[in-house]
Amino acid sequence: MKLTNLPKAEPALDPKFLKNLGIKSYDADNLYPQNVRNIVLNSKTGNGCLERYTDYIEGRGIASQPLAGFVVNLDGETLADLHAQVSSDLAMHDGFAIHVNYDIDAHITSLHQVPFENVRIAEPDEEGNVRKVALHPDWTGQLTRNGKPVKITKDTVDYLDVFNPDPKVVLAQMQEAGGPQFYKGQVYYYSSLGFLLYPYSKFHAVLADMSTDEGLSNIMNRNVRNNFLPAGAFVRLKSQGAPYSGDDADLEPQVDDSEYAEDLAALQGDTEALKFLDITVESKDEMPEFINMQGNNYDKDFTATAAEVKDSIYAAFGQEGWLAIRNGKVGFSGTLVADVERDYAKRQIKTQRALTRCYKTLLQVWTTAQPLPAMPDDANLAILPLVDLTTPTQA
């Protein structure tokens, strides 16, 4: 079969150029990273896999303890703090951003993690080069300050230069900004897809499954909270001394037809299940009767869907080993768990080496000027895996 005969797949991202802001949108609504975060955090399976993935990227941190404790900005954050923040963004978005500031000699003086969701890529110039990125605290437009929304306009967006540590470039940018005191610095933008390209999340292909996972959780919640009924209803004759609506004895007893529906609704849910509902009837010809009530449990109807969704999510993160152990397919032992942990730690080595290269690029032009301390001589920026890969598994 020819590829051209197959149904055309929709593009994963639909970026547009927003002329009013001078940026390339991150998907059609410019909210791809925000949408991804919302989907993952509402999926119990996806969120659990993401937490494990983040832990294994961060590992045990920077190998050199002096470098791990090296303060990288005036807020007192260390390189270990920066590494933890970057690892979290990288796990969620397959990208991260770091703000870089310089002194008047074009040496780096501080590093700050920039939430990846806040960064957008600016339009290329006439030569096709992207020279700036745009930062805004909330691209959804929902953020407020002093009770007023922070609008998304060119006045509220910061446009910073793309990372380029060349002293000539940095000094020229400072001069263009009106001097070092007005210079906003640069942004180091990392994407797994390449230079200044919006990345897809690692688990992009199973975002629909994560949304389904959330829906299944909602169904089970409603099933438990709203589906169960009282054990039964006891129907009896109305008391002869029932109150009347007035002084006239010919008036019929005051009956509210809505009381039964309200009482029945109040007795639904897990905390009210298996109680009795007492109902009064008007006709003397009717004898007291017990009516059994039983609600339907819909959980089993979605068992196959839940299993398939969970399999897909675990597979997207490469965590099939943990799922197999959890489902009891391969038994359970300390040796087996250690093998699964070691295998997953090995899978993150490539990502951790990429992070090490990024840190080296940033720190090789670090200055020793005050008030921040000098960088330690030990320049071992390797990231330690979460588990020791050198120790063989003990039988």
Residue 350 lies in a domain: yes
Predicted confidence at residue 186, as pLDDT, reads 97
Residue 256 lies in a domain: no
Q: In terms of residues, how long is the chain?
A: 395
Q: Give the mean model confidence (pLDDT) for residues 304-321.
A: 91
Predicted confidence at residue 256, as pLDDT, reads 54
Residue 304 lies in a domain: no
Percent above pLDDT 90 for the chain? 52
* C-alpha span between 293 and 277 (Å, rounded): 10
Provide the residue type at 143 as one letter.
L
CA proximity to 191, closest of 119, 109, 99: 119
CA angle in degrees (0–180, nearest 5) for 177-182-184:
85
Q: In terms of residue numbers, what domain contains 380?
A: 12-203+346-384
- Look at residue 386 and give its three-state secondary structure: coil
Q: How confident is the model at residue 314 (pLDDT cuts 50, 70, 90)?
A: very high
According to DSSP H, which parts of the chain are helical?
Answer: 32-41, 44-58, 65-68, 79-93, 167-177, 207-222, 258-266, 303-316, 320-326, 334-347, 349-363
* C-alpha span between 224 and 213 (Å, rounded): 17
Name the burial class of residue 142, with classes exposed (0-12), middle (13-18) and buried (19+) by CB atoms within 10 angstroms of its CB. Answer: exposed
Evaluate whether 149 touches 37 at the Cβ level (below 8 Å): no
Predicted confidence at residue 189, as pLDDT, reads 97
Residue 352 lies in a domain: yes
Higher pLDDT pick, 324 / 52: 52
Q: How confident is the model at residue 368 (pLDDT cuts 50, 70, 90)?
A: low
Strand partners, 133: 121, 160
Q: What is the pLDDT of residues 275-284, one digit of tens each?
A: 666 666 666 5
Q: How confident is the model at residue 348 (pLDDT cuts 50, 70, 90)?
A: very high
Q: Give the mean model confidence (pLDDT) for residues 54-66.
A: 94
Predicted confidence at residue 242, as pLDDT, reads 46
Residue 106 lies in a domain: yes
Higher pLDDT pick, 227 / 39: 39
Q: How confident is the model at residue 68 (pLDDT cuts 50, 70, 90)?
A: very high
Predicted confidence at residue 388, as pLDDT, reads 86
Strand partners, 280: 236
Higher pLDDT pick, 207 / 233: 207
Name the burial class of residue 8, with classes exposed (0-12), middle (13-18) and buried (19+) by CB atoms within 10 angstroms of its CB. Answer: exposed
Q: Map tokens 């390189």 to a residue.
A: 79
Largest CA distance in the chain: 103
In a 13 Å sphere around the CA of 306, the CA atoms on its Cβ side amount to: 16
Predicted confidence at residue 374, as pLDDT, reads 67
Evaluate whether 313 touches 203 at the Cβ level (below 8 Å): yes
Q: What is the pLDDT of residues 213-244, one digit of tens each?
A: 888 877 777 666 666 556 666 566 565 444 44
Summarize the chain as % helix, strand, coil (round to 5): 40, 15, 45
Predicted confidence at residue 249, as pLDDT, reads 47
Measured in degrees and rounded to the nearest 5, phi and psi for residue 335 equal: -65, -45
Element spanning 269, H or E: none
Higher pLDDT pick, 53 / 235: 53
Residue 147 lies in a domain: yes
Q: Map tokens 């071992």 to a residue.
A: 380
Predicted confidence at residue 391, as pLDDT, reads 60
Predicted confidence at residue 93, as pLDDT, reads 97
**What's the total number of domains in the chain?**
1
Residue 317 lies in a domain: no
Q: Is the pLDDT of residue 29 over 80?
A: yes
Q: What is the pLDDT of residues 253-312, one digit of tens each?
A: 454 555 656 766 676 666 666 666 666 666 656 555 666 666 666 566 677 888 889 999
Predicted confidence at residue 341, as pLDDT, reads 93
Q: Is the pLDDT of residue 154 over 60?
A: yes
Q: What is the model's pTM?
A: 0.80
Residue 235 lies in a domain: no
Higher pLDDT pick, 276 / 102: 102
Q: What is the pLDDT of residues 122-150, one digit of tens each?
A: 998 888 889 999 999 999 988 888 888 88
* C-alpha span between 41 and 91 (Å, rounded): 13
Evaluate whether 277 touches 232 at the Cβ level (below 8 Å): yes
Q: Give the mean model confidence (pLDDT) for residues 191-203.
A: 94
Q: Is the pLDDT of residue 40 over 50?
A: yes
Evaluate whether 105 touches 367 at the Cβ level (below 8 Å): yes
Q: How confident is the model at residue 373 (pLDDT cuts 50, 70, 90)?
A: low
The average confidence (pLDDT) of the chain is 83
Q: What is the pLDDT of residues 179-194, one digit of tens each?
A: 999 999 999 999 999 9
